[in-house]
Amino acid sequence: MRFDVLTIFPQMIASYLNEGVLGRAVERGTVEARLVNIRDFASGAHKNTDDRPYGGGEGMVMKAGPIYRALESVERVGPRSMVILLTPKGERFDQSLARELATRDQLILICGRYEGVDERIRRTCIDMEVSVGDYVLSGGELAALVVMDAVGRLVPGVLGDEKSSQRESFEQGLLDYPQYTRPRVFRGLEVPSVLLSGDHEKIRLWRRTESLRRTLERRPDLLQRARLTPEDQAILSRLKEES
């Protein structure tokens, strides 16, 4: 997987790529990340990448020219390359979309700023618009990092345990079950005895029950789309009766 990020603040991205799971993946070469400074493709003495909007109004708009030239400078690695604009107007980013994007060879992420980018970039250069949530950020850099992290960890070889990503929240349409580690007792609270029993079937059933319980309590909307087995349905019925 290769990420190319177009931004006017490349250091915001660069610092993150030196740490954590994604940083180790970049160091090993499992994931490649390249940063393109849009300002390098701006003209004029001040290298302005934004200007006042036609028609008036508050704020500034990112100019089409610098973004277009920056995009043209990016080498495409194959037909499965995709150009994505990070914007509040885009498709909501979730685990399903992350899995879809992880099958691509290259994601070119354009980080918007100010009041957004010139509409002509969206109409002529963009394959997909993506939003990481129903709120407004100062720019697309944080959103790009969210996409890179969520997608990158799904690339084979990035995680030490490939099965771990399959057990995480949202992978099966449910929230994850509670996790515990040492010490056995902390502030008067003990680890559930079933996790110390060594009985793998009881542990599996407890974890599935707690996953369903947590989803029912916190995100019942997810249950409408989750892949539920007959066992899951029976557990849910019992949980609803208990509540």
Question: Is 31 a residue whose pLDDT tops 60?
Answer: yes
Same domain, residue pair 112 and 212: no
**Model pLDDT, residue 171:** 63
Query: 152, 182, 215 — which closes off a domain?
Result: 152
How confident is residue 67, by pLDDT bands cut at 50, 70 and 90?
A: very high
Cα 90 from Cα 67, distance rounded (Å): 18
Range of the domain at 68: 2-152
Domain count, the chain: 2
Tell me which of 152, 185, 215 is where a domain ends: 152
Average pLDDT across the chain, whole number: 94
Verify that 101 and 211 share a domain, yes or no: no
Same domain, 67 and 184: no
Q: Are residue 19 and residue 135 in the same domain, yes or no?
A: yes
Report the predicted TM-score, pTM, of the whole model to 2 decimal places. Answer: 0.88
What would the DSSP string read from start to end of 139-180? BSHHHHHHHHHHHHTTSTTSSSSTTGGGGSTTTTSSPPPP--
**Could you report the per-residue pLDDT of 145-178, keeping only the tens digit for each?**
999 999 999 999 999 765 555 555 566 789 999 9
